[in-house]
Amino acid sequence: ILFQIFDAFKSRLHDSNSKVNQIALETMHKMIPLLKENLSPVINMLIPAIVDNNLNSKNPGIYAAATNVIQALCQHLDNYLLLQPFCTKAQFLNGKAKQDMTEKLA
């Protein structure tokens, strides 16, 4: 059921409506401390949804919310769960998002 929930939620993280997108990111930020390691089965699906577009967003609210989500992931999940998806994102992103992901990896 976790896959079904986050599969539906993931599209809100890419929503073309910036308010919906930002609220989805802020909601994700609140869910991470509650779910912690239970997110491990969906982490490879979530990280691209969180990072793609959002870390390069010109909207300061979306960028800040995405940054907060990445920080919460780093605080509440084991690093080994984040290493591969962060490496993949850092390798293929550009701009500020690439810099942010590279800093998280370091």
Model pLDDT for residues 8-38, shown as the tens digit of each residue: 999 999 999 999 999 999 999 999 999 999 9
Per-residue pLDDT of the chain (106 residues; tens, 9 = 90+): 889 999 999 999 999 999 999 999 999 999 999 999 999 999 999 999 999 999 999 999 999 999 999 999 999 999 999 999 999 999 999 999 999 999 999 8
Structural domain that includes position 75: 1-104
38-74 burial code (b ≥16 CB/10 A, e <16): ebeebbebbbbbbbbebbbbeeeebbebbbbbbebbe
Give the Cα separation of 5 and 60 in Å (integer): 27
- For the beta carbon of residue 11, count every other beta carbon within 10 angstroms: 11
- Under 8 Å between Cβ of 20 and 9: no
> Which tokens belong to 1?
């059921």
Q: Considering its fold, how many domains does the chain have in total?
A: 1
